[in-house]
Structure 1
Amino acid sequence: MFEKLLADLRAKRAAAASKIDALRAEGGVLATRDALSAEEQERSMSIVTELGEARSELAGFDAQIAQVEAERDADAEQQRAAEQRKPVNPAPAARVASEPNPVYRKGDTEVSYFRDLYGATTGAQDAIRRLADSQVRAASSAAGSGGEFAPPLWLVEDFVEIARAGRVTADLMQPDTLPEGVASVNLPKATGNTTPAVTQTQNTTITEGSFTSTSVSSGIAEISGKQTVPIALLRQSGVPLDRVILNDLARAYAAVLDGQVIAGSAANGQLRGLITAGTTVTYTTTQPTQASTSTTNSFYSKVLGAQAAMNGTRFLPADTLLMHPNRWLWVLNGYDTAGRPLIPPTANGQNTPGITGGPTAEGYAGTWAGLPVYVDPNIPTNLGAATNQDVAFVLRRDDLWLWESDMETASFDATKAEENAILYRVLGFAAFIPHRHQASVQVISGTGLVAPTF
C-alpha cells in the first residue's frame, strides 16, 4: 500500500536527517578545538565524507517520497474515475493491490511490459528483472496468481475498467475472489424446515419437523483471450504497445465472461448462465406492446408479474431489470393514445411507467416498472424457434455470486516462430452460482420479445 511505503520512506528519511544532525554536532564540537589529535583529524575528515553521503541519501528519500505521493494521488484519481464508470456492485475481474513503485509507467517510452514478456522468453536478464520487480503487488492466494505475470496497475485500470463496459451483467453480480486450488465452488441450500403449528392443548408434544439441506455448485470455467504481434513491431516501434495489446485482450476476456454469466450452458466447461438458471416468465403475443391500458399482456405487465413471482417465492423484492439495449430503445419508442412518450427524458410527467437515464448503449439506462434498468449488448438476440428473440431479466443481485481469479498474462514465441511473431495471452478462472434461489432470476422470454423494429 502507498501509505505503508510512505511511512517506511519517511522513517528512513527521519533517520537520515537525525544522522546529519548528529554528524553536524560532532563536527561542530571538533571545530571548536584549537588543536586536534591525529585520530580527531581523521574523524573530522570522515565526518565531511559521511555528511555528503547522508545528504545524498536524504535527497534520494525526498525524491522517492515525492514520486510515491504523486503515484498515490494519480491512483486515487483513477480510482475515483473508475468508480464513476462502474455500475452498482461491480465485480472485480482484475483485483489489484496498490503498486507503490511501478516499473512500467504510463507514457514511459523506455520500457514496455509486453516487450519484456517477449524478452523474458529469450533470456534477456533486464526484462526478467523488471518483470520480477513489477510483481510486488501480484502475490495472492487467488487461483491462477502463482505461475505467470499480473499486468501493471495502470494498464489494468486504464483498460480492464474500460473493458468492463463489455461485461455489464457480470459487474452486477455479487463479487468474490476465486480461492486457489479448488475444482468447484459449493453453497448450502435449505430444502425443508420445521413446521410450526398452534398448540391446541397444554402439556402436549409440540409439532416436529425435519430440517433438510442440499448444496448448489459451480465448476470452474477457464476464460482466455489471445493476440499475435509481429516481433518487428515489438522491436522497432518507438511507442510501447502495452495499451493496444491489453486493450484488445481485456475486451475479449470481458466479453466472454459476460456471455457466460448471461447464457452459459453449464456443460462442456461453461458456467451456468442466468438464462438456464432462472424461472421462465412467458411473454407470448403477436402484437407486443410496451405498456397498455387495454391489455395486461404487455411488457410492463410481464415485468410486474416477474416481480410478483419473486415476492411470492423468494419473499424478497427484485432490485434490477436487465435487457438488451435494443429492447430498451423499443420501450422508449412506446407512446400513449395522445402521442406522448411513455418514458419521458426527465421525471416531469405524471403516471409514467419509467424514466430514461439518458442515451446509453450499455450500463445504467433508467427505470421501468419501479426497477433500475441496465442494458447489455451481450444478451443474445437469436433465441426462440425463429432465432429472432431476446430475453429480459428481473433479478435480485444479492443472491447471485460470481467468483473470479486475477487476470494473468503470458507470451509464447515457439508457436508463432515461423511467422516471426509473438502470441500474447490473458487467462482467468471464474465460477458462478445464480441458482441458489431460483426465484431470484426471472427470465422474461417468448414471441413477445421478437426483434423490435423502428
Structure 2
Amino acid sequence: MPTLADQIRKLESVRDDARHRKDTVQVQLQRILDAAQSAGRTHLTAEEDRAVQELTEAREAAVIETRNAARDLEQLRAAQLEEIEYGKQARQITPTNVRRPAYDRVARIGMEERTYRPDQDPNGRNFLTDVSRQFLFGDPGAQERLSRHMREEQTERGEYLSRAVGTGAFTGLTVPQYLTELFAPATASLRPFADAACTPHPLPAQGMSIELSRITTSSSAGIQSAQNTAVANQDMDDTPLSIPVQTAAGQQTVSRQAIERGSGIDDVTMQDLFNRVATTMDSTLLNQATTGLANVASSVAYTDASPTAAELWPKIQSAASTVEATLLNMGYATHAVMHSRRWNWLASQVGSSWPFVSTAGMPVNAGGLTLTNEYGPAVRAKLSSGILVVVDNNIATNLGAGTNEDEIYVVPRNECHLWEDPNAPMFIRAEQPQAASLGVLLVAYAYFGYTFQRYASGAMAKVAGTGLVTPVF
C-alpha cells in the first residue's frame, strides 16, 4: 500500500507535468499571435484560429489538472503534518521534577504498536490467520492477539463496537481499519455512486429503521383582501418516512490447508469479501425494488434506432429540468450517473455542433471535460452544463423490451441520503468450524440505510429508452 509520502511525490509529478504543459502551450499561443502581428494582420487565418482553439483547450485542461493536483496535495500534506505532530506528541516526555524511584519500583506506561499493522501485515494475512486458527484450533496465541486487538479498538473506536454484536453465539471481530481500504484495487463494480453522489450520514447506534418526517401539506400565504380581514391559513401536515436498516453481507469458507500453510488467505478472502459487500450495497441503492434509484426516478424517454450524443444531450438536460422543477429552491441536478459503456460511447462521439450555453472554465467547442480515466469514487467528468458524471457498473444493462438497455440517472446529491457506520467499520466473524470439509466459515457484513424519497416523484430523474441500447463504437 503506497504511503503518504509516495502519494505526495506522485501528485507533485502530476502537478509539475501539468504546469509544464500549460507553459509550453502558452508559448505556442504567443508565437501564433506574434506571427500575425509581425505580418501586420488584425485577424488570424482559419488554420491559425483552429490551432488557437486547440491550444486554448489544452491550456484549460492543464490548468484544471494543476488545480486539482494542488488541492489534493494540500490535503495530503495536511494529513502528513498531522501524522508527524502525532508522532512527536506520542514520543514527547515532560519532566515532572519528581525524584525518580528505584528501577524495580516504577510502573511504566508507553505507546505500544498496534497488534496488526500495515507495515508488518499489509494484506491482512496475520489477522485472518489468527481469526481462523482461533475458531478452528482454539489457538491460545491467536486468541491473545485478537483479544489485544479488540482492546485497542475499544480504546480508539469503542462507541462503534456495540454494532458488531449479532444475534448468533459468536463474537464479532473488528477488521483493522487500514485493511478496509484494500477493496479499492480489486476487480469489482464497487460503490462509485455511494461514494461520489450520495450525502453521507452516521448510522444511528440502535434500531433497524431510520424515521424521518416529510412535510406533505405546507402552510399558505396570500394577499390580504382588506385591512382587518382574515389572512390565508392552511394547517401543515407531515407524513412519516421509515427507512429500513439493511445488511450487506458475504461469506467464504477458508480451507484448513490455507489456514495451516498461510497460502492465498489475504489475496482471496479478505479482498473478495470486502469487494462483494461494497458492490452489493451500491447495487442495492441503484436497483432495489420499490426504493432503489431506478424505481423512484421519473423517466425521460429517449427513443431512437440510431442514437447520437447530440440527441442524448437535451434528454439529460430535460431530466435535470424535471429535478429542478420538483425541488424548486431545495435542490438541483448535480450528478449524472451512467454505466461505463454509456460514458465511453458518449466520449467517442464527434460532431460539428456544441451546447449553446456552457459553464465557466469549459473548453470551447466541447460538450464536457474529462477529469480522470480511473474507475471508482472519483467524478469522471464535467458536462458543459456543470453536471458531474459518475461512472458506475452496477447500473443494469439488461433493461427494456430487448433486455439490452441501460439508464442514465440525473440526481441532486443533497437528496441522495446514505447512512453508514462512522469511519466505515466493517466486521468479520468466524462461525463454527466446518469440520467435515476441513474449513472455517468467515462472514463479512455492514449495516446501511438509504433514501431518495424525501420529496415527491421528480426529485430524481432518469433517461431511458431504445436510444440507450448496447452502444456501437
Mapped contact 2:297–2:462 kept (Cα < 8 A) = yes
Q: Distance in 2 between matches of 1:112 and 1:399?
A: 42
For residues 390 and 370 of structure 1, do their structure 2 counterparts lie closer, same or farther at Cα, with a shift above 3 Å needed?
A: same
Aligned residue for 2:294, secondary structure, equals helix
CA offset at residue 287 of structure 1?
2.4
Query: Does structure 2 conserve the Cα–Cα contact (< 8 Å) formed by 1:217 and 1:433?
Result: no
Structure 2 counterpart of 1:222, from 247, 250, 258: 247
1:103 aligns with 2:115: yes
Partner of 1:312: 325
User: For residues 10 and 360 of structure 1, do their structure 2 counterparts lie closer, same or farther at Cα, with a shift above 3 Å needed?
Assistant: closer
What corresponds to 1:330 in structure 2? 345
Sort the Cα spacing of 1:249 and 1:436 in 2 relative to 1 into closer, same or farther, 3 A: same
For residues 399 and 141 of structure 1, what CA distance do their matches in structure 2 show? 26
- Structure 2 residue aligned with 1:372: 388
Q: 1:111 to 1:337 in 2, by over 3 A?
A: closer
Instruction: Show CA shifts across 1:289-309 (max 9, x none).
Output: 211xxxxxx210011111111
Q: TM-score, normalised by structure 2?
A: 0.70
Name the stretch that deviates more: 156-165 or 444-453.
Answer: 156-165
Distance 1:165 1:390, change over 3 A: closer
Match of 2:459 in 1: 440
Paired amino acid for 1:366: A
Residue 281 of structure 1 pairs with residue 300 of structure 2: yes
SS state at 1:112 partner: helix
Identical aligned residues as a percent: 23
Aligned twin of 2:199: 174
Contact 1:178-1:430 within 8 A present in 2 as well: yes
Look up the equivalent residue of 2:364 and give its one-letter code: Q
Q: How many residues align?
A: 367
**2:369 and 2:382 in contact (8 A); partners too:** yes
| Aligned AA (2:288) | G
Q: Secondary structure at the match of 2:164?
A: coil
Query: In terms of mean alpha carbon deviation, does 305-314 or 240-249 score higher?
Result: 240-249
Is the contact made by 2:184 and 2:190 (CA closer than 8 Å) also made in structure 1?
no
Alpha-carbon deviation of 1:180? Answer: 3.1
SS of residue matched to 1:432:
strand
RMSD over equivalenced CA pairs, Å: 3.3
Q: 1:160 to 1:290 in 2, by over 3 A?
A: closer
On the 8 A contact 2:161/2:174 being kept in 1, the answer is no
How has the CA–CA distance of structure 1 residues 157 and 349 changed in structure 2, closer, same or farther, with 3 Å as cutoff? closer
Counterparts of 1:379 and 1:153, CA distance in 2: 29
The answer to which of 133-142 and 328-337 deviates more is 133-142
Corresponding residue of 1:144 = 163
Residue 221 of structure 2 aligns with which residue? Answer: 196
Say if 2:380 is the partner of 1:355: no
Check the 8 A contact 2:362/2:368 in 1, yes or no: no
Match of 1:85?
none
Is the Cα–Cα contact under 8 Å of residues 142 and 179 in structure 1 kept in the other structure? no
Largest Rg, 1 or 2: 1
> In 1, distance between residues paired with 2:439 and 2:248?
23
Whole-angstrom distance in 1 between the partners of 2:320 and 2:231: 36
- Of 231, 253, 268, the match for 2:277: 253
Would you say the 8 A contact 2:191–2:279 is kept in 1? yes
1:117 to 124, 127, 131: 131
SS of residue matched to 1:430 = strand
Residue in 1 that maps onto 2:446: 428
What is the Cα deviation at residue 53 of structure 1? 7.3
Counterpart of 1:140 in 2: which secondary structure?
A: helix
Aligned counterparts of 2:405 and 2:189: Cα–Cα separation in 1 = 23
- Asked whether the equivalents of residues 216 and 433 of structure 1 are also in contact (C-alpha less than 8 Å), the reply is no
- Shift, 1:165, TM fit: 6.8
Question: 2-side partners of 1:142 and 1:399: how far apart?
Answer: 29
Query: TM-score, with normalisation over the residues of structure 1?
Result: 0.72
Contact preservation (8 Å) 2:339, 2:406: yes
CA contact (8 A) 2:189 2:279 kept: no
Amino acid at match of 2:345: W
Q: Alignment partner for residue 127 of structure 1, among 118, 131, 142?
A: 142
